[in-house]
Amino acid sequence: MEEDHHSRPATARTRELGQELRLARKRANLKATAVAEELGWSLGKLSKLEHGWRSTSDWDYGTLLGKLGADQATRKRIQLIVAEQDTGHFLRPHHGLLSDNLLCLMIHERAATTMCHYETTFIPGLLQTEAYARAVIDPDGGFLPEELTFKTNARLERQTVLIGLGSPEATFYIHEVALHAVVGDNQVMHDQMMRLAFMCGWGRLTIRVVPMSRGGHPALMHAFASMTFAKPITPVAYSETDVATVFTEDRRSIEIYQHKQRALDDRALNAEQSRSLFARWADTYDRRGDRDVEGPGLA
């Protein structure tokens, strides 16, 4: 029996690596048993690689990718992940796309048992209507129609993580500024407020507004998201920049995000108060939309 000296606890990076390997095998339409047999590996070795539970040599990775017929882009992505060190923090560039397209984000959201999001100036992507998402993604109309459709669909597909029996227990904190900031037009904002009010009734979803009247606090400065998982997977948090997403599973950093969540919890309206606020804003934007249609001097 093959002796395994490379087993290790999975990390966010190695889980992403494993998923890249698994997807490459699926694209090649090859069964794990056949790949392992042809490489002279045990099935357990390949399975552990695809789950992020073990490492192997650069030679083995190259041999596996050759067997799978992986294209150059796939090879480059995997080689970069293999070369990274597990420091507790890592970056994933957006490469002109959205964070919604990041494999590392998608696999962890799908595995999460709880989720916490805080947004400062926009409605969180997981809660956006299609029209709001389009207005956020392309406010100046600079994308080709197919580009905008691709990016919008990626966001809408990601939202399905909140639906179904396996959905996480999710809490969203939205700063009141985001309710004031008009994205698109009054109709877009009305529909978005109505959607938020409706989603407040979902069983595993809690949406709470942090009112401007509660004053400033360091915890309110930066948007973030965090996820927890079934044991033995440790929590993962992330925050977005314009060009990359920063992931962390460092224990001390996770404690900071947990402290931020407690501060938000102390300052936010409760779920029912938030739902009422969304309904009031929906009415406000509806009336503003009526005035826009009637025109000046006709109201």
Q: Tell me if 166 sits within 8 A of 244, measured CB to CB.
A: no
Q: Tell me if 6 sits within 8 A of 53, measured CB to CB.
A: no
- Enumerate long-range contacts of 24-28, CB under 8 Å, 24 or more apart: 24/65, 24/68, 24/70, 24/74, 24/78, 25/50, 25/68, 27/68, 28/68, 28/69, 28/70
Which pLDDT belongs to residue 165?
85
Rounded to whole angstroms, the maximal C-alpha distance in the chain is 86
Which pLDDT belongs to residue 6?
66
Q: How does the average pLDDT of the chain come out, rounded? A: 92
Which pLDDT belongs to residue 180?
96
Domain with CATH 1.10.260.40 in the chain: 12-83
Regions in the chain scoring below 50 on pLDDT? 1-3, 296-299
CATH class of 89-294: alpha beta
Pick from 60, 70, 83, 76: nearest CA to 24: 70
Model-level pTM?
Answer: 0.90
Query: Which residues pair with residue 199 across a beta bridge?
Result: none
Which pLDDT belongs to residue 1?
39
User: Can you tell me the distance from the alpha carbon of 53 to that of 10, in angstroms, rounded to the nearest whole number?
Assistant: 5
CATH class of 12-83: mainly alpha
Q: Tell me if 134 sits within 8 A of 148, measured CB to CB.
A: yes
Domain with CATH 3.30.870 in the chain: 89-294
